[in-house]
A = this chain, B = another copy of it.
């Protein structure tokens, strides 16, 4: 295992120190492993809390700041944060208008966020669960579909709505609408290596790739020989379009790197994906190419398409100031 780390048991602790020092938009509660906005939101605004296992950076800590999250709970690598962390985050950011929990659909996360909502006492909590991965039903970490890339787009769009002063019901309704309107599919060229384990999560021969990979290295749909980018694009575009009609409104398209894939390859893949979408009659209104929801040092990519109405596009364009996404601020 070759990694820029110290003690493999303390990777999250040490990475949070660096995030804190390099990111003026946040401050880190190191005891609770909660990333908070450096400048809290004004009273009366709905707050957004997310979190999950670490190893998917910039998700979620890199999305804390103006226009996105108010707090993110960092679990151990690929391990849900505890309900205690979530309660600490929720009570710290509540401004009297309630808190939205944004939860990726993995059994541990869903259970712990449910418990945290109950334990949060007088804070009103609504929850949205993302489950956009079309690759598989049920999986090693999940009952039902896995929550992946749409979580990034949801945090941006719903974060902007909360910033505008909408109430908790309206924010939660929008969040569920975004979650329902997005679909994702990924592919891995290599495994990832969890630092505390020290060896690759799965074996993938030199000439094979895994289609439908999960963000923790969970198995996908099938293994196939490594193919040219144009064919890989088909393997991730077609299952998405087969699952949800993406021609009824413009889409936001995210071509996401899994952590070890260089930008030149992501650009190239985006070109292939865009060409297929054009042929299928899908209109891309906004696009995002880069590392947004990763799997440690996995090589590969995922595509997320979100059917976006005018309101979602307007909220997408609103100012955001986080380590991972920033514009207009």
Contact = CB atoms under 8 A, between A and B. Distances in A.
B299 A297 contact: yes
Nearest to A204: B2
Contacts of A261: 4, 260, 297
Given A4-B229, A5-B228, A291-B291, A267 B19 contact: yes
Contact of A228 (B6, B255, B299): B6
A301 B15 CA distance: 15
A291 B263 contact: yes
Contacts of A14: 229, 268, 271-272
5 contacts: A2-B299, A4-B266, A18-B272, A22-B288, A326-B327
A296 interface: yes
A6 B262 contact: no
Interface in A1-26: 2-7, 11, 14-22
Contacts of A263: 57-58, 62, 259, 291, 294
Interface in A223-239: 226, 228-230, 232
Given A263-B57, A326-B327, A274 B3 contact: no
A5 B267 contact: no
A18 B259 contact: no
Contacts of A2: 189-190, 206, 209, 226, 299
Contacts of A262: 55, 57, 259-260, 291, 294, 296-297
Nearest to A12: B264
Nearest to A259: B262
Ranked nearest first, the 5 interchain pairs of A and B with the lowest CB-CB distance are A18-B271, A18-B267, A17-B271, A18-B270, A4-B265
Interface in A185-233: 189-190, 206, 209, 226, 228-230, 232
